[in-house]
């Protein structure tokens, strides 16, 4: 496919995630099949950074980061479909990147999915998907926004109903925010959430652990990390009406029959909005 303008900064990290998903999709018995991930990689200009090639050194930082991306992709697939089974028919992907769940997951009838990300990311994504003749398997709305600005108003204008339960996914984003920015983002999510809404994101600071051990091959990502929320994220959510559950990466990976390469990596958090009556 013809190259498009390269993504850069935080937007450019989406290509690294697409590469990891493409590797897993080629693997026999992979945890998921993302048929469009390789198209994103093919459509990007020839890369010169180390992240352009598969993680060859077991235990290296790039290999651990790719492992984390692969496990979280499947975990969030299961989380979103489970949230729909529980009654959510609105799905919001904050910092959706090159996510293709709208196209590859078996959504139940009536799901409306919203993807929010920077304009250049969504433009690149839509151009590639159009070239692949991709067809969404649910109602999909892409909103080009800066999540540091007034995105809640745009989301409601686009059709989100705050009175109905919503499944929120904040995948791979919080580490690129300061603690204050991350807390503000979650407050906005809460303001738009009806009882029964759900949210999920990475917990702990696996990114910091990976970077402290060895930044080789992930420098382009590590220099953008700001830390995200602190260790008491569950307490922060609980104080605002969310019932939280932690998912240790060791347990999650074992459930998918994948050996964990680094026990210091953390895991995920899911929460259901259940404010006191």
The pLDDT score that the predictor gives to residue 180 is 82
Tens digits of per-residue pLDDT, 35-69?
A: 999 999 998 865 433 344 444 444 566 677 788 89
User: Which residues, in sequence order, are CB contacts of 150 under 8 Å at separation 6+?
Assistant: none
Q: What is the mean pLDDT of the chain?
A: 84
Q: What span, in angstroms and rounded, lies between the C-alpha atoms of 225 and 245? A: 25
Where b means 16+ CB within 10 Å and e means fewer, 27-62 reads eeeebbebebbbbbbebbeeeeebbeeebeeeebbb
Residues 6+ apart with CB under 8 A from 252: 71, 75, 267, 268
Task: List pLDDT tens digits, range 147-156.
Answer: 988 899 999 9
Task: Please report how the helices 61-85 and 9-26 are oriented relative to each other, as an axis angle in degrees rounded to 10.
Answer: 80
Q: Assess whether pLDDT exceeds 50 at residue 24.
A: yes
The fold of 9-273 is Rossmann fold (3.40.50)
Q: Is the pLDDT of residue 4 over 60?
A: no
Distance of CA 260 to the CA centre of its chain: 20
User: What pLDDT score was predicted for residue 61?
Assistant: 66
Structure tokens at 52: 């352009």
Residue 239 and residue 235: Cα distance in Å, rounded?
A: 6
Q: How many CB atoms lie within 10 A of CB 143?
A: 18
pLDDT digits (tens, 9 = 90+) for 248-274: 888 999 999 998 766 656 789 999 999
Question: What percentage of the chain carries pLDDT values higher than 70?
Answer: 77
When mean pLDDT is compared over 132-136, 222-226, 238-242, the highest value belongs to: 132-136
Asked whether 149 and 119 are in contact (CB, 8 A), the reply is no
Reported pTM: 0.87
Query: Hey, where are the domains in the chain?
Result: 9-273
129-134 long-range contacts, Cβ below 8 Å, gap at least 24?
A: 129/36, 129/39, 129/100, 129/103, 131/1, 131/39, 131/43, 132/36, 132/39, 134/36, 134/100, 134/103
């Amino acid at each position: 496919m013809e190259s498009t303008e390269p993504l850069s900064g935080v937007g450019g990290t989406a290509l690294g995630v697409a590469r990891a998903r493409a590797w897993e999709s080629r693997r026999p018995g992979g945890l998921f099949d993302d048929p469009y991930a390789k198209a994103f990689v093919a459509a990007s200009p020839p890369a010169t950074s180390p992240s352009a090639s598969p993680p060859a050194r077991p235990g290296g930082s790039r290999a651990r980061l790719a492992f984390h991306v692969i496990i979280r992709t499947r975990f969030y697939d299961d989380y979103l479909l489970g949230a729909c089974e529980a009654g959510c028919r609105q799905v919001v992907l904050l910092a959706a990147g090159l996510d293709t769940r709208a196209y590859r997951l078996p959504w139940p009838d009536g799901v409306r999915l919203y993807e929010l990300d920077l304009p250049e990311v969504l433009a690149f994504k839509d151009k590639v998907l159009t070239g692949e003749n991709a067809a969404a398997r649910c109602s999909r709305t892409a909103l080009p926004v800066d999540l540091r600005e007034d995105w809640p108003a745009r989301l409601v204008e686009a059709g989100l109903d705050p009175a109905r339960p919503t499944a929120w996914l904040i995948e791979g984003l919080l580490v690129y925010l300061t603690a204050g920015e991350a807390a503000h983002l979650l407050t906005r999510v809460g303001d738009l959430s009806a009882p029964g809404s759900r949210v999920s994101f990475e917990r702990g600071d696996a990114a910091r652990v990976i970077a402290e051990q060895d930044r080789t091959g992930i420098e382009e990502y590590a220099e953008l990390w700001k830390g995200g929320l602190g260790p008491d994220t569950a307490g922060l959510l609980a104080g605002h009406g969310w019932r939280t559950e932690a998912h240790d990466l060791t347990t999650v990976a074992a459930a998918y029959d994948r050996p964990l390469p680094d026990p210091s990596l953390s895991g995920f958090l899911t929460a259901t909005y259940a404010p006191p009556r």
